[in-house]
Each structure stands twice: as C-alpha cells, then as structure tokens.
Amino acid sequence: MKSARRLVSLLLPSWRMALLGIFLSLFALAANMALLALSSWFITSMALAGAAGAFMDYTTPAAAIRALALARAGGRYAERLVNHDTTLRVLSTIRVWFFRRIEPLAPARLQGLRSGDLLGRIRTDVDTLDDFYIRGVVPSIVAVLALGLIMPFLARFDLRIAVIDAAALACGGALLPLFLRRLSNAPGSDRVALSSDLRASVVEHAQGMAELIALEAVQVREQDMGLTVRELGIRERRLATLQGAGDAGLIAASSLAVWAAVLVLAPRAASGSMPGAEMAMLAVFVLATFEAVMPLPPVIQRAGELAAAARRLFELIDTPATVKDPESPSPAFGSEPVEPLGLVIRDLRFRYASDSPWVIDRLSLDVPAGGRVGISGPSGVGKSTLVNLLLRFWDYEQGTITVAGAGKEVELRSLRGEDARRLFAVVPQSPFFFHASVRENLSMALPEGREGDAEAMRSALETAQLAPFVAALPEGVETTVGEKGHELSAGEARRLAVARTLLKEAPIYILDEPTEGLDEKTADSLMAALNARLRGKTLIVISHRDRDLSFAEKVVRLDG
Amino acid sequence: MLTMTGTTQTYTADSTRWLRQLALSVRGRLAAAVALGELAGILLVLQTGLLARVADEVIFRRSAVSALLSLFAGALGAVILRAAAAAAARRTASACASKVKAHVRAECIAHVARIGPLALSGMRAGEIAHVSVDAVEALDAYFSRYLPQRSIASLLPFTILAVVFPLDWISGLVLVLTAVFLPVSMIVIGDQAHERNQRLWGRLALMSGRFLDVLQGLSTVRMFDAVRRETAEIERASREHRTLTMSVLRLAFLSSFMLELISAVSIAIVAVISGFRLLHGTMAFNPAYFILLVAPEYFLTLRMLGTLHHSRMEAISAAEQIQEFLGRPVLEESAARVNAPCVMRPPVITFHGVSFSYGAAPVLSGVTLEIDSCERVALIGASGAGKSTLLALLNRFARPQQGTIEIDGVPLAALDLAGWRRVVAWLPQRPTMFHGSVRDNVTLGRRDASKDEIRRAMSLARAEGIPLDTPVGESGLGLSTGEAQRVALARLFLRTPLLVLLDEPTAHLDAENAALVSEGIQELSSGRTTLLVTHRAESAAGMDRIVEIKDGKAGPVR
C-alpha cells in the first residue's frame, strides 16, 4: 500500500496530462459504444418503419452515426498521443527520482549484491515501472469510470440487464483474472526463480569455463542447465493454460451477457412493452461494453510483478548509505581548495564486513603536502580500497586519516563526503567511460560552468600523451568511445582517464596504474609530463612498474 | 551514426531470416494454433448469425422465447466451443514459443563453451546471461502472439467476406472497398514512420541508454563531483527522448488512426446504406443486423495485429543480440582423432620458440624451455609477463602463434584432447566456486567419485576440516579464500593427473592457509611434472628449478 502511494506520487507532476488522457480514453470508448448501439437502433427502426410503411426522420441519426465514427477514430488517436506523452513524462520523473536516491549508495551498497545481476535487475525493474502508467493506471481508471456511464444507461431501459452486464463485466474482467492470478502465483514465482537460477548458472558457466573445460565438467553442467530450461518450459505451459482460461472466460462472459440480455428482453419486445429497436440496440451495446474491461486481465496478471519491481526498487533506495555525513561537518577545505595538502594515515584498518578478513591492516603512511609518493605491491593488497576510503565511499573502522595543509588539520571522517571528494582527483583502477564522445567524457570532470572549455581539454590530452591519437580520430573529440569505452585500447583508455582526471582541479592527485598498457617510451613521457604539470600538487602514484615511481621522493610497498 | 544505422539494417535482415527459420522448426504446432484461432472466429460468426436470427424472430415475428429454445441452445454450444478453441489456441501457441526458447537457450549455453575461456575473459558474464535468458524471453510474444495472429488476420477477414457476400453483396462490397484503403494508407504512413524511426533509432537508443550508463558509472560520477550535472543531463536526455519519440509516434499512430477510422466509417456506411434499404423494403432485417454485428470483427483481427507489432520489433532486436552472441568466433579445437597419442607417464615438456600475443600486444616472444619428467619448475616474473599465458597454452585454451610445444616429443596439438585434459591438473589463481555444496564443487570433475575417494582427496588437500555439506553461494560465498583454494585442490586429487599446473596458489592467502595449501601442493606435485607460477621468489622454495619469464622469454634466474 505504501509503495502504491509512493508510485502514485510519481504521477503528480504530470497530473494535467494524465487527466486529459483519461478523459480522451473514456471519450473514445463511449464513442464506440454509442456508434454500435445507435447503428443497431437505426437499422432496426428503419426496418420496422419500412415494414409498417411509416415515415421516419433518418437525417439526425444518420448524421450522428457519421459523427460518432469520426469521434471514435479521432478520440483514439488523441488518447494514444496524450497517454504516451504522459508515460514518457512519468518515465523521466521515475528516472530522475531513482537516480537522485541511488546516487548516495554507490558504490558500497551496489557491490555486494551479486554484482552482475544487480544492474540487470534495476534495468528490468525500471522497465517494468516504465509502463505501469499506460498499461496499468489508465485502463483501470477508465474501466471504473466507464462502468459509471454504462450502468445508469442500461438501467434506464431494464434494471435486469444492467445487473447482468455488471456481473459479466466483473466476472470476465476482474474476478476470473484475480482467481487465475492466484492459481498462477506458484508457477509464476517458480518461473522467476528458475530464470534467475538460470541467469546465475550461465554467469558461473562463463566465469568458470576454463576450469570446467580443464575438469571436463562442461557437459554435466550443460545438462543441468538443460533441466532448468525444461522445468521453465513446464511452468510456462502451465501459465499459458491459465491465460487461455482467462481468454475463454472473457469470451464466455461477453457472449453469455449478450444472450442473457436477449433472453430477458425478448418477452418484452415480443409483447410490445419495449420497442424492438431498443432490444436490438441493447444487445449490441452490452457486447460493446466489454471493450472497457478488455485491457484489465493483463493488468491484473502483471500487478504482482509491478508491485514486486516497485518493492525491490524502494528497498534498494531505502537502504541506508554505508557512509553517513557527519552531523556537524568540518567547514575546513569546504568550498575553496587549500593547496598544497598532505595526508597522514595512522594504523588504518578496514574490512568490507565484520566477518571478512582485513583488507587494510594497520597501514600508516605519510604523504607530505606537495610531495610525490609511490605505492607498489601485488594486486589484491588493498590499494584500490585505500582510494575508496579516501573518497569516502566506505568508512574505515580503526585508525585515522588526517588531511593537513595551510596550518589546518582535519580528520577525513569529519568532512562531508562531497567535500572530501573535492580534495582528490583520481584515476581509478578500472576507469569508467560513458557511451558518449571523447569531449563529453572529458567535460564531466570540468568544474561546473566551464564544461565547454576546449583549451583545457586540449592541454589535458597533450599531457596525457593522447593528443595525436584524438587528432587522428575520424571526428576528433566528437568521436564516441563506445559502450564503457570499449572502442579504446587499454592504453588509450588509461590515458583518457588520466586526461579526465587532470581536468578536475584538486589538491591531491591519485593515479592507479597510469601507464598500464603503454609502451616504455610513452609511459616515460607520460610520467614526465604529469610530474611537470602537477608541480605544487600532491601526487600519489600506484604502480607495479618501477620506472613510474622513479621521480617519487618515497616509495611505499604494500604487502598483505 | 551512419555506420551504426547501416549495421543495424543488415542485422535486421539477418534477424528476420533467423526468426523465420525458427518459426519453420515449429510450423506444425503453429499451424495448429492458427487453425484453432480460425475455428474460434468461425464460431463467432455462427454465434452472431444466431443472434441476428433470434432478434429477427422476436422483433418482426413476435416469437415467444419458448419457440426459440433450439437457437439459444445452439448459441450456448457455439459460445462454449469458441471459448475452448480460444483457450487451446493460446496454449498451443505458447507451446511453440516454449519450444523455440528452449532450443535457442541450449544453443546459447553450448556456445559459451565453444567460445572458449580466453575470449570469454574479455566478455561480461552478466551480458551473456542476459542474452541467454532475457533476450531469448523477448522472443516469446513473437511466436506465441504475433505469428499466429498474423496468419489469422489473413484468414478470418476472408471467411467473414465469404459469408457476407452471398447475404448482401452491397455490404460486402463496402467492407472490401474500405479495407482496400487500409493497406494502401498503412503502407504510405508506415514507410514514412519507418524511415523516421530508422533515422532516429540510434539517437533514441543512445538517449535511453544514457540512464543505464550513468547508473553503471555512478562511482565515477560521484568521484568527479558531477552528480547534479548528471541529474540535469538525465532530465534533458529524457525530455529530448520524449520530444523525438512523440514526433515518431504522431506519425506511427496515424496508421492505427486510419485503421480505427476505416473500421468506424465502414460500420457507419454499412449501417446507413442498410438503413435506407430496410426503409424501402429492399433488404431483410436479419442479414442487415448480422452484417452490422460482424463488421467490427472483420476489422478487429487487423487491429489486434497492429497492437502486436511492437512484439515483432522487440523480437527482432532481441534476435540481433542473440545472433551477435552466437556469431562470436569459436575456439578452434582439434577434432577428436582416432589413435591420437595419449600421455601415459609424467611428461617431458619442450617449448620451441613459442610466441603468443593478445591482439597486437605480444606476451610471449620465443619461449624456449625444457622440463623433464617429474621435474618441478617454478616460473617467476613480474605480473603481466606471460606466466599464466604459458599455462593457458599448456591447457590448450589457445595455440601458440609461433613455435611448438611438444609433449614427450609429440606436438601438443596432435595429442588427443580429451586424453590430455584427463592428465592435466590446473589450479588457477582464483578458483571458481560453483553454487551448490562443497561436495558438488569437489566432485565437479568426477561426479562418480565414491565417498572414500572424496574423503581421501579432501584429506590430501588439507581440507578434511571443511564439511562436505557446506553450502557454497555465488562466487564462493560461504567459503574463505583459503578454504576455496583447498577445495579446488581437492578437486584435482580426485583426478589422475600426470602434469600439475599451479597459478599463484598461495598469493591471496594468510600465512596459516598458505602453509596448508603448500602442504597439499607438495603432495599433489610429487612424482608429477609440475609448473608453479609465482611472482615471488620465496614461494618457489622446494621446487627443483626456478625459471624467470621476462620480456617474453624464459631464462634462468640471475
């Protein structure tokens, strides 16, 4: 219920369009019912008049029929446009809302949860929410409002057929689908579970393929997955049978309603207490009312899925961030960066969970303001973790990190995360690039208001030894780098990451393996250019290549 | 952008062809589903005929209900049969989709092994899972809804016309003539919409992709203090996405507008023309009422097809993803050869000028090295020097681009592959633990191992302290790194190796676990040809010889 209210709140910004869309849907629906009913009444009246040799004024109904035909088509067109426009507005609200709330959770809260799967799940869930408006909200409201129009109309002619129609609409459009949904709960959730099983198995299969081949276990696992696929098929067929029952139910409900109406009205028409034309009209009208509930069974079927998707997303964004900003953040180094800055790390200990081993165990490290420090050591000893702690993506358990400069000393934890991150410009171990142009990827690092600074970009590319490469690209800086930068080689990606980091003005620069994938010569010129450009800044270089660290005043070796 | 659209089009042509082939493989069931759907349509026409007849009897002949009971009974029968046929049609069509999906999933899963471990390491496992599970799911509606509906849409209207014409050719003509406008207007509008769509497709995909992209790069966004800017960017991109989409939809919806219009106008014309003829007594009520009732159904099948059109588009784009994956090059593997030599004793291994590069980056450039039978050699060198690549070559996950590897004087590539796999035991840097129990993981390479064999292997691997029923979660959750390493070692003791390949077996372990694993390794390597990869000289203690890999070559440690 609570998530329903939160969902509805996402519709509020677009309520005017939503109202218009619902009105138009209702209008198009009513026009169709009126068209069919009036046509039936018209031909029956004409036939009766013809048989009696009586005169009939046909101009008004004939004109009304033509008008209704146009109203129907025009109403549908307008309704679809307005409702799709609203959907896209809602979609935009959902995305911005979700992004704002998930942002503080990255990366700490988004990692542990089966890394590969989480993003996929978010993707599917957001997609599910995307069409909850047009496929869920609109048809439900329209159906209810339509009933409010249909029932008084039918009751004017005969209360019994109003009751019959209401019962049939309720049975075929809501009660039977609700009952079938209960039956399909078990196979439905089985299907979801089997699918995610299969997804996880395929992930493992791909990740462990080398070992599976070496252990000759490929076939056995393929057979296991084949069984899962078969189980999945069994559930699918069961669900299809239930869906078929729903189709059959709606067919039966609509047809039986018509025949029941005829059965009730026939004696009246035969005895003359109801004009024959009215009976012919009402039979068709009852049939036409079913257009109002036609979209409901899928809505009911998917309501559970939607609720689950919404619940998952709400749960995710409701998880508290791992790192909380201090109650009264230190104002030091707040807005204007102080330079140069140094770091003093004492007895730092960190682990990802209270039951996992220490990733950083009693680390002490001095980085003098404006100094150059190298860090070396094998992979997996917590170098990137240290970077994550400095950026306040995680909180350390024991020890201290002090930022010192301009006569001030501040414990990192007393800074707001945003302020702490402003102190560092980092090339992370695996830099991420957006599926956008070189320029767009660079400009995100520039301070607000200077996004278009082409000169700054050019000089950063120059220092990163990437200027000739970018110049040779078909569209220069406007060339896209591919999804996650996949169109760049490892060395190009590294250097682009370096260039991007240089564009961020910060007192402390941390470069994790800046020369990976580069040949000796380029690596040397890159390091020399960096060293020259970052004069006066504090520079920490993490590398396994000794020559990268040759200019460092101090090299610290991290080792388990 | 131009190139992007180009490749999309060629893929689309391929994808439609591929989908058509899949449809052929289930054509029997598809035909059954169509026949059932058509039967439901015919029963609807019958039911409508009965309704018109009853109305005629009651209104014009003042018949009592009791005289019409046989008509009511017939209608009831038609309703029941029609509901049953519709349900069966749905079930049959869904069975087609199920069958196709199972087939494609099996193909995708089998292709994972065909691609081979080296190429897989450059791909994201999550993406492969997405293709084999979710993209395949997107084919469902195409086979279970779109294809059957398309056939019914080309059958049922003709069935209705065949009934209408003998009753009243004028109304029949109205239906035919209005319907003729349909394809013409739809083709004209459809073409324009399609062209517009194609032009915008790349931009639309990019814009809606932006959101996911930003989600994936959230840490980077935060790192660069760009949260506010990216929020604005998402807002801007969705707004632009909406404007563009609406400009496409305004045109695309025109075709459904035409459908609605023609359907409504056609009903109006039939009603008005019939009305006048009824007034003048040149037409009977029964057929007029029947045609009016059946006319909406005449257009309904076509309208339904329109609403299912997007499932076709979705299936095509899913098919593109699936085909892209299935088109990934297959690791060339020597076919099983009869009488290919097998290794019967701890082998002598000789590398003759072996070179290997990943793409343009050379890793090994002329490694020459001989390892004696039962000799235990440590390979040291900086990370990235190519030590693990050497093991990958021995594992036959790839072939050297130059030079040869000989086993007891026989080229490695000429050995029977299955026989070779059986005698090689490989412990990778971070062994994969599979979801299941510890027992499942230990018996991975030998499902038929007996209890005693398992116990023995666990104790040789110094893993007897780990209960076999311990559940292991995804990526080894539930086991510590050291435990996982020992379980992986136990896996190898269950086999009968002659050559042991170890890749940094103790690198990520604490002292206690490292000691346990080292003991197990001593056990495993004794009496077997052994290669131990390490980046630290001290881990090489206890080996017969240390070889350094440097600058792509092998040499003694200086």
pLDDT of res. A335 = 61
Tell me the chain B residues in contact with residue A513 when contact means C-beta distances shorter than 8 Å: none
B223–A421 CB contact, under 8 Å:
yes
Is A373 in the same domain as A302? no
> Do A185 and A298 sit in the same domain of this protein?
yes
**What's the pLDDT band for B201 if we cut at 50, 70, 90?**
low
Query: How confident is residue B227, by pLDDT bands cut at 50, 70 and 90?
Result: confident
pLDDT band at B479 (very low <50, low <70, confident <90, very high): confident
**Is A305 in the same domain as A374?**
no
Amino acid present at A15: W
**How far apart are the CA of A408 and the nearest CA of chain B, in angstroms?**
23
C-beta atoms of B91 and A49 within 8 A: no
One domain, residues B216 and B314:
no
Task: Using the structure block, give the residue that is written with the tokens 């065909």.
Answer: B114
Q: Would residue B341 count as lying in a domain? A: no
DSSP string across A474-539 = TTGGGSB--GGGTTS-HHHHHHHHHHHHHHS--SEEEEESTTTT--HHHHHHHHHHHHHHTTTSEE
Q: How far apart are CA B218 and CA A321, in angstroms?
A: 14
Predicted pLDDT at B1: 24
Identify the H or E element spanning A473: none
Point out the domain boundary residue: A303, A318, A333. A318
Quote the pLDDT of residue A188.
87
Is residue A8 over pLDDT 80?
A: yes
Which position has the higher pLDDT, A144 or A203? A144
Model confidence pLDDT, tens digit, residues A133-154: 888 889 999 999 999 999 999 9
pLDDT score of B508 more than 70: no
| pLDDT of res. A200 | 85
The mean pLDDT value for B321-343 works out to 76
Confidence check: pLDDT of B171 > 70: yes
pLDDT at B195 over 90: no
User: Which of A364-368, A523-527, B81-85, B508-512 shows the lowest per-residue confidence on average (mean pLDDT)?
Assistant: B508-512
B93 neighbourhood in chain A, CB within 8 Å: 240
Asked if the structure places residue B64 within a domain, the reply is: yes
Q: Tell whether B317 and B355 lie within a shared domain.
A: no
Tell me how close the Cα of B84 comes to any Cα of chain A, in angstroms: 6
Least confident of A131-135, B121-125, B349-353, B415-419: B121-125
Assigned domain for B117 exists = yes
Q: Is the pLDDT of residue B507 over 80?
A: no
pLDDT score for B514: 81
Q: Are strands A554-557 and A372-376 parallel, antiparallel or unpaired?
A: parallel
Is the pLDDT score of B480 beyond 90? no
Most confident of A85-89, B4-8, B522-526: A85-89
CB contact under 8 A, A205 and B88: no
Q: How many domains does chain A have?
A: 2
Which of B441, B448, B452, B418 is closest to B489 using CA atoms? B441
A296 and A353 assigned to the same domain: no
Task: Tell me what the mean pLDDT of segment A276-294 comes to.
Answer: 95
Q: Determine whether the interchain pair A252/B444 forms a contact, defined as Cβ–Cβ distance below 8 Å.
A: no
Report, as an integer, the average pLDDT of A90-108: 85
Contacts of B298 in chain A (CB under 8 A): none
Give ∠ CA A313-A319-A321 in degrees, rounded to 5.
125
Cα–Cα distance between B394 and B529 in angstroms, integer? Answer: 12
My answer on whether A313 and A394 are in the same domain is: no
Supply the CATH number for residue A242's domain: 1.20.1560.10
pLDDT, one tens digit per residue, over B251-260 is 878 878 888 8
Indicate if the pLDDT at residue B224 is higher than 90: no
Same domain, A361 and A460: yes
Same domain for A289 and A228: yes
Longest dimension (CA), chain B: 115
Q: Do B51 and A258 touch (CB under 8 A)?
A: yes
Instruction: Please report, for the domain that includes residue B450, its CATH number.
Output: 3.40.50.300
Angle A15-52/A59-102 helices, nearest 10 degrees? 160
Task: Looking at the structure, tell me whether residues B24 and B125 fall in a common domain.
Answer: yes
Check pLDDT > 70 for residue B339. Answer: no
Pair (B411, B537) in one structural domain: yes
Q: In terms of pLDDT, which residue wins out, A352 or B49?
A: B49
| pLDDT range class, residue B543, cuts 50, 70, 90 | confident
Query: Comparing C-alpha atoms, which of B380, B311, B330 is closest to residue B145?
Result: B311
Identify whether residues A67 and A207 lie together within a single domain: yes
Residue A231 lies in a domain: yes
Whether B127 and B153 share a structural domain = yes
Q: Is residue B546 part of a domain?
A: yes
Q: Is residue A357 part of a domain?
A: yes
Burial of A530 (0-12, 13-18, 19+ CB in 10 A): buried
B320 and B248 inside one domain: no
Quick one: A114 and A200 in the same domain?
yes
For the beta carbon of residue B151, count every other beta carbon within 10 angstroms: 16
Do B410 and B507 belong to one domain?
yes
Q: Indicate whether A304 and A353 sit together in one domain.
A: no
- pLDDT for B398: 86
On whether both B468 and B493 belong to a single domain, the answer is yes
* β B410-411/B402-407 pair status: antiparallel
Inter-chain contact B261–A70, Cβ cutoff 8 Å? yes
Band of pLDDT at residue B17, cut at 50, 70 and 90: very high
* Candidate from A72, A96, A195 with C-beta closest to B264: A72
Of residues B556, B554, B549, B547, the one with CA closest to residue B378:
B547
Residue A262 has pLDDT above 50, yes or no: yes
What pLDDT shows up at residue B206?
65
Q: Could you give the strand order of the β-sheet that contains A538-542, starting from the edge strand earlier in sequence?
A: A424-427, A508-512, A538-542, A372-376, A554-557
Statement: the pTM of the whole predicted model exceeds 0.90: no
Cβ atoms within 10 A of the Cβ of A145, count? 17
Q: Residue A107: CA atoms inside 13 Å, Cβ hemisphere, count?
A: 21
Which tokens in the block code for residue A116? 């590969």
Q: Do B325 and B235 lie in a common domain? A: no
What CATH number did the domain enclosing A423 receive?
Answer: 3.40.50.300
Percent of chain A topping pLDDT 90: 49
Residue type, A560: G
Whole-number pLDDT of residue A37: 96
Q: Cβ contacts (< 8 Å) between A198 and chain B: which residues?
A: 105, 129, 132-133
B360 with B449, same domain: the answer is yes
Confidence band for B300, pLDDT divided at 50, 70 and 90: confident
Q: What is the mean pLDDT of residues B479-499?
A: 87
Least CB–CB distance from A209: residue in B120, B210, B264: B120
**In a domain? residue B216:** yes
> What pLDDT is attached to residue A113?
47
> Which band of pLDDT confidence, cut at 50, 70 and 90, is reported for residue A305?
confident
Domain that holds residue A143: 2-318
Q: Quick one: which of A39, A36, A31, A38 has its CA closest to A77? A: A31
Which of B53, B220, B253, B277 best tests the A interface by mutation, with the highest count of A CBs <10 A? B220
The pLDDT, as a whole number, for residue A114 is: 42
A19 Cβ contact list (under 8 Å, min separation 6)? none
Q: A284 to chain B: which residues are within 8 Å by CB?
A: 292-293
pLDDT > 90 in chain B, percent: 45
Give the residue from B275, B266, B252 showing the smallest Cα distance to B300. Answer: B266
Q: Which domain holds residue B256?
A: 169-282
pLDDT tens profile A358-409: 888 888 999 999 999 998 876 556 777 888 899 998 888 889 999 988 778 8
Res. A538: pLDDT tops 70:
yes
- B483 and B358 in one domain? yes
- Number of structural domains in chain B: 3
Among residues B507, B546, B549, B503, the alpha carbon closest in space to that of B385 is found at B549
Mean residue pLDDT across chain B: 86
Residues B157 and B173 in one domain: no
**pLDDT surpassing 50 at residue B9:** no
Q: Are A240 and B95 an interchain contact pair (Cβ–Cβ within 8 Å)?
A: yes
| Bridge-based pairing state of the strands B402-407 and A360-367 | unpaired
Same domain, A388 and A529: yes
Looking at B217-226, list the stretches that DSSP marks H as alpha helix, in order from N- to C-terminal side.
Answer: 218-223
pLDDT at B7 over 50: no
Q: Looking at beta carbons, which residues of chain B come within 8 Å of A424? A: 223
pLDDT given for residue A116 in this prediction: 47
Is the pLDDT at B4 greater than 50? The verdict is no
A206 and A295 share one domain: yes
Each residue of A488-536: pLDDT tens digit? 877 888 999 999 999 988 899 999 888 877 877 888 999 999 999 998 8
Query: Which residues share a beta bridge with B378?
Result: B532, B546
Q: Tell me: the pLDDT tens digits for B29-66?
A: 999 999 999 999 999 999 999 999 999 999 999 999 99
Residues linked to residue B436 through DSSP beta bridges, in sequence order: B472
At residue A551, the pLDDT reads: 85
Residue B440 has pLDDT above 80, yes or no: yes
Which amino acid is it at A171? C
With CA atoms as reference, report the closest residue to B119 among B323, B321, B331: B331
Is 90 exceeded by the pLDDT of residue A119? Answer: no
- For residue B230, which residues of chain A lie inside 8 Å, CB to CB? 99, 444
